[in-house]
Structure formats: structure tokens, C-alpha cells
Amino acid sequence: MIDLSNILNKNQRKAIVNGILTPFSWLYGAGVWVRNTAFNIGLLKQESFDVPVVSVGNITVGGTGKTPHVEYIVEHLCRKYNIAVLSRGYKRATHGFILASDNISVTDLGDEPYQIFHKFNGLITLAVCESRRKGIKELLRINPDINLILLDDAFQHRYVKPKVNIVLVDFGRPPFNDKLMPLGNLREPADHILRADVVVVTKCPNDIKPVQIRMMKENLELFPATQLFFSNIKYAQPVPVFPIRDPELTTLNWLEQDDLILGLTGIANHRPFHRYLKQFGTRLKLIHYDDHHNYTRDDFRYIFKVFDSLEGRRKFIVTTEKDAVRILNNPYFPPEMRKYIYYVPIRVGFLNYEDREFIPELEKKIME
């Protein structure tokens, strides 16, 4: 077999791959068009509910920050509303409708719903179900007092007609510069973002400039009635994954050049987290797995083999909050290594754009 990598340059190889994937992208796009047209003309029916439903989703594969934005909404509205969160529960080991409780494991719910439930345990009702219609009906049967439902990752799940459709767009990977799967990351054509009531451009740089905001707004080409917001990620101080007394790592700001961090991620877009770790100027080694990765015994053997081989005055493993959920409940994690691993919680912050605040504007739409 001829090794094309030794013959062709990067652009030539990219052109060949694009040529191979383009027909599949056309076929995928045709399927998306047929499905959405069937909803638009009423061949496939959408169901509305008396309880307001807010969908938080995207039009691209990969991480746009859905979970922290759902958490932001829950945090600000859970004392005003009796909130239920409904998710598909991606990569869970169960099927059908599962109601979260203290006895339910991360493999039963999936990592992101499990994280949301335990962060707001006692303040919300949470369930997972492949069918959002069935899930909503079951939630309302179990708890008739629910008066606001948040759908996690449901922009493409059109069998439910939400009161408010929120679409998240990654600042670093805008849809207008992307292509349909499998050629690109788009789940549906970029102009389908026009179905959104609210668009949030996420993961904006802290030093974003007015010209960047203006260009993003112009390129998105939203309807005048569609509200646009800009948010960024705020990292908190590291927290031990396993409860330990007197944790040694309380802030990354105190790390020195001869200390070492092994960054461990199993998320869709690891680059912002890696950039965050690099800014502290200490020695850094990175290990990355695919999104929602289920860590195995062999994974931990490899991780700690790498960890042991690295030199540093002090050494720590630093991971994401989503990874921490899977690691905390993993039976293969060596007990003797628990004191070395920490996670960095993240929160969402909204930029002051056009003197509008996200939560008050969302409440107005919910009550319309």
C-alpha cells in the first residue's frame, strides 16, 4: 500500500479527504432537509405542553458548554420555579425513563445529568429519557408541581415544541465557518440557527474586542427578534476529586516552575481547558481521551505510569468537573493515588452586551 503522507503535502491530503467525505455530507444534508421539512409542513407532529419548556442545544457536534449553561439557568431560577431537567443521558448504560435519585449511579444517568443532579440535589427534579415527549409526560405525572422544564441538548429533537429555543455557538468554532457532518461539525445547515429564539456565543475570550462582537453578530445573520448574548467560562479554584483532609493544591496560582501538572481530559473540546492550565507557567503534560470517555483499569495504569515517570518538586493530576464525576465513581481508580487528583469547577459569565441581562430576558420569554 502506498503511503500518501510521504508523497502529498498537507493541503493535497486535505483535498483528497474532503473529496471523499463531500458526497456523504450531501447525503447527510439531504436527510436533515427531508426531516426538517416534514416538521415544517406538519407531516411530523410537534407537541406543546402547558408547562413552559426551554431547550438548550446547539447545531454542532462537540462541546459548546451546554451543561454549564443549563446549570447557570438552574442556579438563577430554581428558587422561583419548580424546575425539572430532562436529558437524553448520552452514553449511559440504561434505557428508557430514569428518574435521578441518591441511589442512581453515573452509569445510569450519564456523566452530565449526574453532575447537574448532585450539584442541585433537593432543588430540582432530573430525569433522562431518549424520548423527550415521553420524558416530559412522565415527569409531570410524577411531580405535577413542575412549572418549568429544561431540555438538555434538544435543538434537533423537534417532536417537542419548546417555549424558548436557546442555541449555543462556540466562539472559536462558529457555524458559518463550518460544514455539515462528516465533512465538518454541523448537525444541520448553519442557517437553521434561525429557528432559535436566543443565541449565546460561548467560550468568548476575556479580552474580546467590540469589533469581534460586531463581526460575530453580522456573520450569524440572525432575525432581528432573535436575542444574542455572549458568555465566557470562569474557572474556580481546584477541588479534590476524592474528599481528603488538608488538600495540598488549593490554588493553581501558587504553583512554581519546578512543580508539575498532568492535565487529564475526556471532553469534546479540550483546548480551552488546556490553554487555561498552560497560563500558570508550571511544567505541564497533557493526556486527552474522547468525550464521555469511560476510564478503564488499563487507562489508569497508563495515566499513573506517565505520572510516575514525570519529574517535579510537587506533582498533581488536574482534570475537568465532568471527568471528575466519572473518576469519583470508578472502581478502578487506585486508592493510593486519590490525594494527587483535583478538578477545576467552571461557571458561566455573561458579557454586558447591549445592556441586556440573560436571565431577566429569558424570564420574559418564558412568561410570554
Tell whether 132 and 222 lie within a shared domain: yes
d(CA 74, CA 84): 9
SS3 track for 207-275? CCCHHHHHHHHHHHCCCCCCEEEEEEEEECCCEECCCCCCCCCCCHHHCCCCCEEEEEECCCCCHHHHH
Give residue-wise pLDDT tens across range 326-356.
Answer: 999 899 999 999 999 999 999 999 998 888 9
Tell whether 195 and 125 lie within a shared domain: yes
The number of distinct structural domains making up the chain is: 3
Tell whether 247 and 337 lie within a shared domain: yes
In a domain, 266, yes or no: yes
CATH number of 286's domain:
3.40.50.2300
In a domain, 139, yes or no: yes
Residue 269 has which C-alpha cell? 473540546
Q: Are 164 and 48 in contact (CB under 8 A)?
A: no
Tell whether 282 and 302 lie within a shared domain: yes
Tell whether 15 and 96 lie within a shared domain: no
Domain hosting 261: range is 239-344
In a domain, 46, yes or no: no
Q: Are 152 and 113 in contact (CB under 8 A)?
A: yes
In a domain, 47, yes or no: no
Tell whether 78 and 212 lie within a shared domain: yes
Give residue-wise pLDDT tens across range 182-192.
Answer: 999 999 999 99
DSSP-assigned letter for residue 339: G
Tell whether 275 and 179 lie within a shared domain: no
Tell me the chain's radius of gyration from C-alpha atoms. Answer: 22
Give residue-wise pLDDT tens across range 74-94.
Answer: 999 999 999 999 999 988 999
Tell whether 337 and 217 lie within a shared domain: no
Tell whether 267 and 185 lie within a shared domain: no
If you average pLDDT over every residue of the chain, what do you get?
93
> What does pTM read for this prediction?
0.92
Tell whether 104 and 178 lie within a shared domain: yes
Tell whether 191 and 244 lie within a shared domain: no
In a domain, 167, yes or no: yes
In a domain, 48, yes or no: no
Tell whether 214 and 169 lie within a shared domain: yes
Give residue-wise pLDDT tens across range 35-65.
Answer: 999 999 999 999 999 999 999 999 998 789 9
d(CA 116, CA 126): 8
